[in-house]
A and B are shown apart, each in its own frame.
Chain A
């Protein structure tokens, strides 16, 4: 009887699961396999694909713009991820502490995350405008020469980074807050009884116990930042002089503007491999921290 019921449960589970599997198969797996095939072809969407072996990859090797776009992507990750991890942790600590206007802080930092990318980018574009923007006027007011943020080859990428951090940090704060609230208060009480000071409580309780959150935030942010597209596309269009063009934008340009589908796919595949490495790292790190917790 019990076995029968179990089987029926399993059947129900598979049934409920089936639509998802079908959709996953049709809209993810089939296109994925097709796209892998496409990296060996030259295809302009309309004509018939022409097999060129590893031609797309040899093209990539000698394509200066591919390398500069790859570097800009990595540069963006380097500039974005550390401040997001550190700031979101600090802000979460602040919100989690015994201060009075928590609710306000929580919404103030989370609200930007609910905005659409175009709203965020247009707002910051206005702020950055050296002639009419708030930042420029403030700089002028204190006697500084305003920076032409988005048109300056040095400042354009940092300007996009600031916008991105402001926009996405709310999500990471929520993750950290959830982690912080899972740490039992008794740990801190015991530590206090043992005479541990604030510094020790931070470095021996809070930070180690949040290891899984650190890994989660770090890796998801790296993966998200590797795919940066919208902010650049809207705010600078990859300029000035191509200094903010990232790999995703180059993939888009090659595929949909110049109709080199195979080449775009091959470059997207490289990005996919990079992200796969980071996902693997995340899984490994998560596993080890899970094992540690079991011990």
Chain B
């Protein structure tokens, strides 16, 4: 009798175990972001006894290489994280599962439209985004007060236009004897992010729906490069790496700082550091449009679809997107409007100061080869900043390069 009981128990365990769908998820988050993802996955597993999500952390610089080789070997994870900007390179190669028939209709309607559009490639949905991380402007309140940049009520002056930013930065730099007026990284931050932001504010449309490719208007590109070049020739900015730009700002040695929202995971925790965050300035007559990328979940293509696994995976990635208020502690903005407007999200430090940026984002164009184009943009931007290339030559080079990538 006892034996039978044990056998029945064992059998039921086996059955239970087999009823459980295990899905592997590749992520590349480390530090504070990493803890948040791991915690959320734990929470999901606790709420969904029939599914077990197993997280495998892949080093950030290696994930896309590994993913493409795993897909080609026929053994990819069930779910992977992917930047929205990288999506077209994978989707165009048939490396991802189209999700249209799996995801809930109502979740898509609730998305910030710009982001939802870019989660599609050639009309099909390939990703479920769970955040957006735009370029924003940080300012050091202490330094601005010391430089006399205060209004009538004693509040620090927050620049609304580029001219204001430049004059405030110049004043603070000169008055306080600082190295820079604005600190920011020279490569991606200037060549791609600020470029896209400024170009859009000039009225440029970066993506052409008709030709499905980048659209670069010569005059506007040239004006953008002139603007970026001036930041450096005027001495307001200096060439520096990402880490240096951050250190200068964190150590009260730079009044303004251009960076993504992801640093909001750290800045509010720093001692003796009085800072503010706002959208980047706007050109007269424009809204403060800004570059942004998104983290998304995708389902890599396998040699054979397993409907049970796909269903479990979709359940997980939708759950994650709906619970993005927790994830937003890392600084990112949610992309589902009801999460973006939720008290859980807006109650986080300073989120009210930049939550509105979610509606002003300009994501990377949905084009195959964007990863290559943007690398070129970083380099051309650097060449312009270093004075090795005139804005005119840079414009020509960029437009020619895009043409070459599209034709390839």
A interface, CB within 8 angstroms of B? 44-47, 125, 129-132, 148, 150-153, 237, 239-242, 253, 256-259
A-B residue pairs in contact (CB < 8 Å), sample of 10: A46-B72, A129-B241, A129-B244, A130-B240, A130-B244, A131-B247, A241-B388, A253-B375, A256-B64, A256-B65
Return chain B residues, CB-CB under 8 Å to A253. Answer: 375
B72 touching A132 by the CB < 8 A rule?
no
Interface residues of B in 236-294 (CB under 8 A from A): 238-241, 243-244, 247-248, 253
Q: Is there an interface contact between A242 and B379, defined as CB atoms closer than 8 Å?
A: yes
Which residues of B pack against A, CB within 8 Å? 64-65, 68-69, 71-72, 89, 93-95, 179, 186-187, 238-241, 243-244, 247-248, 253, 369, 371-372, 375, 378-380, 382-383, 386, 388-389
Of A47, A129, A258, the residue contacting B371 (CB under 8 A) is A258
CB pair A45 B388 closer than 8 Å: no
Chain B residues positioned under 8 Å from A148 (CB to CB)? 238-240
Known interface pairs A257-B375, A258-B371, A259-B89; 12 further A-B residue pairs with C-beta atoms within 8 A, sorted by A's residue number: A46-B94, A129-B241, A129-B243, A131-B247, A151-B239, A153-B386, A153-B388, A239-B378, A241-B386, A242-B383, A253-B375, A256-B64
- Provide the bound-state CA to CA distance between A240 and B389, in Å: 13
A46 touches B187 (CB 8 A): no
Q: Which residues of A contact B95 (CB under 8 A)?
A: 46
Whether A44 touches B247, Cβ cut-off 8 Å, given contacts A153-B386, A239-B187, A240-B382, is no
B152 to chain A, nearest CB (A): 35
A277 to chain B, nearest CB (A): 30
Report the minimal beta-carbon distance from B369 to chain A, rounded to whole angstroms. 7
Q: A45-B72, A131-B253 are contacts. A257–B240 as well, Cβ < 8 Å?
A: no
Q: How far is the CA of A237 from the CA of B69 in the complex (A)?
A: 23
Residues on B with beta carbons closer than 8 Å to the beta carbon of A237: 187
Whether A257 lies near B372 (C-beta < 8 A) is yes
Rounded to whole angstroms, the CA-CA distance of A137 and B305 in the bound complex is 60
CB–CB B72/A240 < 8 A = no
| A129 CA to B240 CA, complexed, in Å | 9
- Determine whether the beta carbon of A44 is less than 8 Å from that of B179: no
Q: In the complex, what residues of A have CB within 8 A of residue B179's CB?
A: 131
Q: How far is the CA of A45 from the CA of B68 in the complex (A)?
A: 7
Alpha-carbon distance A44/B68, docked complex (angstroms): 10
The 10 closest A-B pairs by CB, nearest first: A241-B382, A241-B383, A151-B239, A256-B65, A46-B93, A242-B379, A240-B382, A258-B372, A45-B72, A241-B379
Q: How far is the CB of B390 from chain A (nearest CB, A)?
A: 13
Say yes or no: A47 contacts B93, CB within 8 Å: yes
A132: which B residues are within 8 A, CB to CB?
A: 244, 247
* Complex Cα gap A260–B127 (Å): 24
Question: B386 touching A257 by the CB < 8 A rule?
Answer: no
| A257-B186 in contact (CB<8A) | no
Q: Quote the shortest CB–CB distance from A198 to chain B (angstroms).
A: 48
Main SS of chain B's interface residues?
A: helix
Q: Are A259 and B240 in contact (CB under 8 A)?
A: no
CB distance B244 to A131 under 8 Å?
yes
Among the listed A44, A47, A151, which residue makes an inter-chain contact with B240, where contact means beta carbons less than 8 Å apart? A151
Q: Whole-angstrom distance from the CB of B245 to the nearest CB of chain A?
A: 10
| Beta-carbon contact of A259 and B93 below 8 Å | yes
A129 to chain B: which residues have CB within 8 Å?
A: 241, 243-244
Q: Give the distance to chain B from A186, nearest Cβ to Cβ, in Å.
A: 56
A23 to B253, CA, bound (A): 57
Residues of A within 8 A of B372 (CB): 257-258
The residues of A that contact B247 with a CB separation of less than 8 Å are 131-132
**A264–B66 CA distance with the chains assembled, in angstroms:** 17
Output the nearest chain A residue to B408 by Cβ-Cβ distance: A260
Contacts of B378 in A (CB 8 A): 239
Task: Evaluate contact between A257 and B371: CB separation under 8 angstroms.
Answer: yes
Expressed in whole angstroms, the Cα–Cα distance for A125 and B242 within the complex equals 12
A257 surroundings in chain B (CB, below 8 A): 64-65, 371-372, 375
Using known A-B contacts A153-B386, A257-B375, determine if residue A46 contacts B71 with beta carbons closer than 8 Å. Answer: yes
What residues of A have a CB within 8 angstroms of the CB of B72 in the complex?
45-46
List of B residues within 8 angstroms of A242 by Cβ = 379, 382-383
Output the least CB separation between B78 and chain A (Å): 18
A38 to B93, CA, bound (A): 19
* CB of B184, distance to nearest CB on chain A (Å): 12
A45–B186 CB distance below 8 A: no
Q: Which of A45, A131, A151, A256 contacts B248 (CB 8 A)?
A: A131
The residue among B93, B94, B369 with the most chain A CB atoms within 10 A of its own CB is B93
Residues of A within 8 A of B383 (CB): 241-242
Nearest CB on A from B374, distance (A): 11
Among B89, B95, B239, B383, chain A packs the most CB atoms within 10 A around the CB of B239
A129 to B183, CA, bound (A): 14
In the complex the two chains form, is B239's CB within 8 Å of A240's CB?
yes
Closest to A122 in B: B243
- Residue numbers in B under 8 Å from A239 (CB-CB): 186-187, 378-379, 382
Instruction: Give the Cβ gap from B239 to chain A, nearest Cβ, in Å.
Output: 4
Q: Provide the bound-state CA to CA distance between A131 and B371, in Å.
A: 31
Residue of A nearest to B179 (CB): A131
Chain B residues with Cβ below 8 Å from A130 are 240, 244
| B64 neighbours in A (Cβ, 8 Å) | 256-257
A108, B179: Cα distance in complex, Å: 36
Rounded to whole angstroms, the CA-CA distance of A129 and B251 in the bound complex is: 15
Please report the C-alpha to C-alpha distance between residue A46 and residue B380 in the assembled complex, in whole angstroms.
30
CB distance from A63 to the nearest CB of B (A): 10
Assembly CA distance A153 to B186 (angstroms) = 13
